[in-house]
Amino acid sequence: EDQVTQSPEALRLQEGESSSLNCSYTVSGLRGLFWYRQDPGKGPEFLFTLYSAGEEKEKERLKATLTKKESFLHITAPKPEDSATYLCAVQASFKSGGSNYKLTFGKGTLLTVNP
């Protein structure tokens, strides 16, 4: 069964204090790994897609990296507006070799950035 584990569950940072969030996964037939940001009372907002080990994507203060077993979301010099829950999801086949894919989400990391 596909599994996605995010750590830590919660992270509290001071403004400007860089850190990383982890997403480890166990899936067969990985098609892609996604990072989303979710603010309270809202739906997840798409951030990045990573397709293969070694790939990196950047957006403002966020940088996502991917290995064969995990992904990291690095946050450089965070600001209070970066406070949110960050969700990781993996896309894999329903059946081995099949063309139907499903997204399996981790439970997220709640990031709080204090001014």
Partner 1 sequence: KAGVTQTPRYLIKTRGQQVTLSCSPISGHRSVSWYQQTPGQGLQFLFEYFSETQRNKGNFPGRFSGRQFSNSRSEMNVSTLELGDSALYLCASSPGPSTYEQYFGPGTRLTVT
User: Minimum CB separation from partner 1 for residue 18, in Å?
Assistant: 26
Residue 96 carries which DSSP code?
T
Our finding on whether 44 is near partner 1 (CB under 8 A) is: yes
Counting Cα atoms < 13 Å in the Cβ hemisphere of 57 gives 16
User: Minimum CB separation from partner 1 for residue 8, in Å?
Assistant: 15
In contact, 93 and 28? CB cutoff 8 Å: yes
Our finding on whether 26 is near partner 1 (CB under 8 A) is: no
89/111 with CB nearer partner 1: 89
**Could you say which of 34, 64, 65, 90 contacts partner 1 (CB under 8 A)?**
34
Binding mask 53-92 for partner 1 (x = CB under 8 A): ----------------------------------x-x-x-
Closest CA to 111 of 93, 87, 90: 87
Closest CA to 88 of 44, 54, 42: 44
Compute the distance between CA of residue 62 and CA of residue 1 in angstroms, rounded to an integer: 30
Our finding on whether 102 is near partner 1 (CB under 8 A) is: yes
Residues in touch with partner 1 (CB under 8 A) = 31-32, 34, 36, 41-46, 49, 87, 89, 91, 94, 99-108
